[in-house]
Each structure stands twice: as structure tokens, then as C-alpha cells.
Amino acid sequence: MSVPAADPSNIFCMTIIGQVEGHMVLPPQNKTTKYEHLIPQLVAAEQSNKIEGILIVLNTVGGDVEAGLAIAEMISSLSKPSVTLVLGGGHSIGVPIAVAGNRSFIAETATMTIHPIRMNGLVIGVPQTFEYLEKMQERVVRFVTSHSKVKEETFKQLMFKTGELTRDIGTTVIGEDAVKHGLIDEVGGLGQALRELNRLIQAAKPAASSTLPIAAAESAIMEASRAADIGAGGGLPQ
């Protein structure tokens, strides 16, 4: 099947799918997104003069906490407009990534699972490990609440809710519920996300161009002042 050739675009589309792979390599049968691949792509998009906006499409089950937070921090620190779109699912550590853009969208049937941080394997020093997990969990809570409209109390209630998930603590929110809780800005799909991103791109252009006359005026004032100083010095008796 032939794929239609895409016209040159000013929007960079980045997909986060499957499981977010961190410091440990996952089994080959797992579909993964490697954070060390995404970070250089975001740097390149930020540096490119041709790219004016970034669209992040998510359908992820979650994964490594620190890798997910690293991706989320990179997205939130971009100077160019960014829009996130949750399709299918944006679970676990996918939640901070979903709220990291300037504007977030979720499909009507898409879901987001919010649950406490957990770990597998041998634990040496239970109190110390618990304290470490609690601090890491606070990092996630702070990021989500500072980049969305959800209140910390509401987010923690969703995170520690019992009775909804059969094998875990937490909550699964669907489409409109994510918007009602303040996690996501709007219910919508690709068309709405691209329309909003193009609006943000256009809105950013006047702000960028309006600084040019000010800079030019400041430069002209400095040049005029320098010329006046030289002229005054030239008129002094030798």
C-alpha cells in the first residue's frame, strides 16, 4: 500500500507508544519508546528554523518513571508551541507527558490510569526504599498539578482510590472525565489538536516580530549616543 507523500510541514510530530523504556532494556517482544531517542529529536526540533510547533501523540501504557519525567520536562521547557494528544491511552507515567504541552487533548474514548509508583525486585532497607518512592511520587504529583488544572488533593484521591482497579490502587479516567478533573484541557482528536497548534504558532509570531523594532530602536539609540560622544570629544581643544 502506497502512502501519500506529505508536503513539507512546519510541525514536528512525535509519537510516544507502547512502554517508555528507561535505564533497563525491555524484552524484544515489547513495543517500546526509548527516551534516549526522543530527547535528541526534541533538541533538533527546538533548534530547527523550519519547525514552528510540536505535536506529541500518546498511546502508552507507561513505563520508567525517571525516563518519563525527563521527556515531560523536555516538552514543558520547549520555547516553541506544543500540543499533546492522548489517543487510546496515556497511562501511568504517560500522565505527566500528556500534561507537559501548552495545550492538551484527549480522544473521547481514550483512557488515563493514575496510580501510585511501584517497583519490582529485591528491596534492601524497606524504610529507606519507601522514603525514596514517596519522594519520587511527589515529583510526579508536583509536575502534574503545576502543568494542569487538577488540584493536588483531587489528583491524590484519584491516585490512591481503592476498589476500581482489580490488581492495583488508582483510577482510570476516560475522555470527558479527564477534562472534568482538570487533567486535560479539552476532548478532541487530530483535527482539533492541529487547529489549536496552528493557532498557537500564529499567536507566537506577532510577539516574536514585535520585539524586532524595539531591538532595532535600542541599537539605533546606542549608535546615536556613541556618535554624539565621539563628536563631543572631537570638538575638544587639543
- Integer Rg of the chain from CA: 24
- Please tell me the number of Cα atoms within 13 Å of 27 on its side-chain side: 2
The structure's pTM equals 0.81
Q: Which long-range contacts (CB under 8 A, 24 or more apart) does 115-122 make?
A: 115/159, 115/165, 115/168, 115/169, 115/170, 115/171, 116/159, 116/160, 116/169, 116/170, 117/65, 118/168
Cα–Cα distance measured from residue 185 to residue 175, given in angstroms and rounded to the nearest whole number = 11
**pLDDT at res. 237:** 42
Phi, psi angles (nearest 5°) of residue 16: -120, 105
**pLDDT at res. 236:** 42
- Please give the domain boundaries of the chain with CATH numbers for all domains: 11-201 (3.90.226.10)
| 92 included as an active-site residue | yes
| 148 included as an active-site residue | no
Cα–Cα distance measured from residue 74 to residue 96, given in angstroms and rounded to the nearest whole number = 11
- Name the catalytic one among 82, 91, 104, 115: 115
- Name the catalytic one among 82, 92, 104, 148: 92
pLDDT in tens, the chain (238 residues): 666 666 778 999 999 999 999 888 888 888 899 989 999 999 999 999 999 999 999 999 999 999 999 999 999 999 999 999 999 999 999 999 999 999 999 999 999 999 998 877 777 888 888 888 889 899 999 999 999 999 999 999 999 998 888 777 899 999 999 999 999 999 999 999 999 999 999 999 865 554 445 555 456 555 655 655 555 454 444 4
